[in-house]
């Protein structure tokens, strides 16, 4: 038996499978727009989204694959604890290509909510949509530099400073009589 829905335009659409709620239908439609036979997908955590991608012809990658192939879609499923996310996030997100999409299921709960909050302010990611109030969609807009890729700047070693006197009176004197070598602000 197939489930049917009335669409706002008045047309009728038959769904091949029965889903839990309308949000899942919206996510399935969005995944259908993203996936093709050449799409590479990786999923961390539990979700039906990867099965939907495979049904549409996408190739499902494993976290064990250490290949340098770039991913088109990364899915973070429900029930993904902080320790598992921390273990796999850096390698999985590094494989996501520029322009690739990240779907975070249950983005209002637990570690997924913290990740979504972080990606909102990260300049390497662009927030695209919130599907059904639960699935956050982010797009990678540039690769982040790793700490080891940052060039080191050669500087001269700092001059050894004079030891400052300690104690209550020394602290009061430092507070009252700060560095007077700076020019005075006479604009008032």
Q: pLDDT tens, 95-149?
A: 888 999 988 888 777 888 888 888 888 899 999 988 888 888 999 998 876 544 4
79 domain residue, yes or no:
yes
Q: Which domain holds residue 107?
A: 23-144
185 domain residue, yes or no:
no
174 domain residue, yes or no:
no
62 domain residue, yes or no:
yes
Q: pLDDT tens, 31-70?
A: 888 888 888 888 887 878 878 888 887 777 776 666 668 8
The DSSP secondary structure of 169-180, one letter per residue, reads: HHHHHHHHS---
Q: pLDDT at position 139, please?
A: 92
Q: pLDDT at position 152, please?
A: 53
167 domain residue, yes or no:
no
165 domain residue, yes or no:
no
CATH number at residue 133: 3.40.50.150
Q: How many domains, the chain?
A: 1
Q: pLDDT at position 40, please?
A: 86
30 domain residue, yes or no:
yes
CB atoms within 10 A of CB 63: 14
Q: pLDDT tens, 73-87?
A: 888 887 777 777 777
150 domain residue, yes or no:
no
């Amino acid at each position: 038996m197939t489930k049917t829905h009335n669409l706002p335009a008045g047309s009728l659409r038959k769904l091949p499978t029965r889903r839990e709620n309308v949000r899942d239908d919206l996510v399935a439609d969005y995944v259908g727009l993203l996936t093709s036979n050449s799409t590479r997908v990786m999923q961390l955590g539990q979700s039906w989204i990867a099965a939907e991608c495979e049904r549409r012809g996408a190739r499902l990658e494993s976290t064990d694959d250490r290949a340098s192939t770039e991913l088109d879609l990364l899915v973070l499923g429900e029930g993904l604890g902080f320790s598992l996310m921390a273990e796999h996030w850096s390698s999985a997100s590094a494989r996501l290509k520029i322009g690739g999409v990240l779907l975070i299921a249950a983005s209002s709960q637990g570690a997924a909510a913290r990740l979504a909050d972080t990606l909102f302010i990260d300049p390497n990611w662009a927030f695209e949509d919130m599907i059904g109030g639960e699935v956050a969609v982010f797009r990678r807009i540039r690769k982040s530099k790793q700490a080891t890729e940052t060039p080191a700047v050669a500087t001269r070693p700092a001059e050894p400073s004079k030891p400052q006197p300690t104690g209550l009176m020394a602290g009061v004197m430092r507070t009252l009589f700060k560095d007077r070598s700076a020019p005075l602000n006479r604009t008032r």
